[in-house]
Amino acid sequence: MNYRLSVVRVFALNWEQSADFYQNQMELPVRFRDADAGWAEFDLGGPRLAVERIQPEDAVEDPLTGRFLGISLEVADMDATCKRLLEQGVVFKALPARQPWGGVLAHFEDPEGNVLTLLQPPGTSTR
């Protein structure tokens, strides 16, 4: 069997605010956006990042927002990316730090309190 990662979903109670965040503050290219459907897809050059609207009753039974998501977005220049995102008002939970394995990680929060990671791979020049 062959599998290919297609879409990674981020859930949002306030869908419009979250879709705007990824489109305008994160500056991700929009592939598809439909407010009626509560679905937005952003092109990451491979698998897509989607923002999916959830209903408040869904969040009560099984919280789908406000979590560390384990989603890493690779960037070529961590310092420049973080500087730009800070200018855009993005809130960082952890600023860039070189890891023992050689890469650089930073963690940021979206409007729903979801935490995502920026990753600069090992062997690149930041710090």
Closest to 39 (Cα-Cα) out of 56, 71, 15, 22: 15
Q: pLDDT digit string (tens) for 16-40?
A: 999 999 999 999 999 999 999 999 9
Backbone angles phi, psi at 104, to 5 degrees: -120, 130
pLDDT at 127 over 50: no
Confidence of residue 57 (pLDDT cuts 50, 70, 90): confident
DSSP one-letter code for 26:
S
Closest to 38 (Cα-Cα) out of 52, 48, 25: 52
Mean pLDDT for the chain overall: 93
Q: Which residue has the tokens 């923002």?
A: 51
Q: Which domains does the chain have, with CATH numbers?
A: 7-120 (3.10.180.10)
Output 62 or 34, whichever has higher pLDDT.
Answer: 34
Distance CA 97, CA 5 (A): 28
Q: What is the structure's pLDDT at 125?
A: 63
* Partners of residue 8 on adjacent β-strands: 49
pTM, whole model, 2 decimals? 0.90
Determine the residue type at 72.
Answer: S
